[in-house]
Amino acid sequence: EIVLTQSPTTTAASPGEKVTITCLASSSVSNMYWYQQKSGASPKLLIYSTSSLASGVPDRFSGSGSGTSYSLTINTMEAEDAATYYCQQWSSNPDTFGAGTKLELK
Amino acid sequence: QVRLKESGPRLVQPSQTLSVTCTVSGFSVTSYHVSWVRQPPGKGLEWVGAIWKGGSTDYNSALKSRLSISRDTSKNQVFLKMNSLQTDDTGTYYCAKHETDYGYNDYFDYWGQGVMVTVSS
């Protein structure tokens, strides 16, 4: 099973600040996927195929990476971006998620 | 418009069986795979299992002995059954529609609202 390790576990950012969340895979994966989950809501797809924005996602979000190292970047933090972010892989069975990164507004 | 909606009991007694239904609209369960993902309170996401568009299934190995996922194609519904429930099975159970990218990797492009299930006597 591929283990995904996210860092940081928790972080806080001020409006306008740049935020980067990292996801390290225990073995190489071909693509990474990112989800945003706000309190009390279902997860929402943010990034697919490592760097493609899902429909309706603001372009301040971006994804990058390859092999075992991937990242999600918010170029300029906005209040509505406060949420928990999860990475996910299914290059190898079973499907696995990272433990999540909680992003708070400073 | 793609929608998934979970329904099922909110409270289940320990050792009993959980049965949750996912009713989908806007797509056919014979055209897209559907997974179940669960989330304990305050914790992260855990893939439970999937039913592929052809009808075969895959389960999380840690839960496999207690799990059954099936579907009714005429009603566009997917079912989750998990037996011998324990308190650590408490959580929100989501169904999610798969999409597959160019590298044949699956991910979840639509999620249901989830059903919060508490295992308690």
Task: For residue B110, list chain A residues with Cβ-Cβ distance below 8 A.
Answer: 45
Inspect the interface and report whether the beta carbons of B47 and A95 lie closer than 8 Å: yes
In this structure, the dihedral spanned by the alpha carbons of residues A21, A12, A47 and A44, taken in order and rounded to 10 degrees, is: 140
C-alpha span between B93 and B36 (Å, rounded)? 7
Which residue among B45, B60, B105 sits closest to A91, beta carbon to beta carbon? B105
Task: For residue B112, list chain A residues with Cβ-Cβ distance below 8 A.
Answer: 42
What are the start-end ranges of the H helices in B9-110?
none
Task: For residue A45, list chain B residues with Cβ-Cβ distance below 8 A.
Answer: 107-110
Q: Give the angle A45-B95-A51 at the CA atoms, nearest 5°.
A: 20
Q: How confident is the model at residue B84, as a pLDDT?
A: 96
Q: How confident is the model at residue A51, as a pLDDT?
A: 97
Paired sense of beta strands A101-105 and B67-72, if any: unpaired
Residue B106 in this model has a pLDDT that exceeds 80: yes
Residue A12 Cα, gap to closest chain B Cα (Å): 18
pLDDT band of residue B103 (cuts 50, 70, 90) is confident
Q: Is there a contact between A9 and A103 (Cβ–Cβ < 8 Å)?
A: no
pLDDT band of residue A62 (cuts 50, 70, 90) is very high
Inspect the interface and report whether the beta carbons of B105 and A90 lie closer than 8 Å: yes
C-alpha span between A47 and A62 (Å, rounded)? 7
Which residue among A42, A94, A100 sits closest to B113, beta carbon to beta carbon? A42
User: What is the per-residue pLDDT across A77-99, written as a single tens digit (0 to 9) for each?
Assistant: 999 999 999 999 998 888 999 99
CA end-to-end span of chain A = 36
Measured between CB atoms, does A36 come within 8 Å of chain B? no
pLDDT band of residue A67 (cuts 50, 70, 90) is very high
Kindly state the greatest CA–CA separation across chain A.
38
Q: Most B CBs within 10 Å: which of A90, A92, A93, A102, as the mutation test of the B interface?
A: A90
C-alpha span between B93 and B116 (Å, rounded)? 6
User: What is the per-residue pLDDT across B40-96, written as a single tens digit (0 to 9) for each?
Assistant: 999 999 999 999 999 999 999 999 999 999 999 999 999 999 999 999 999 999 999
Inspect the interface and report whether the beta carbons of B45 and A31 lie closer than 8 Å: no
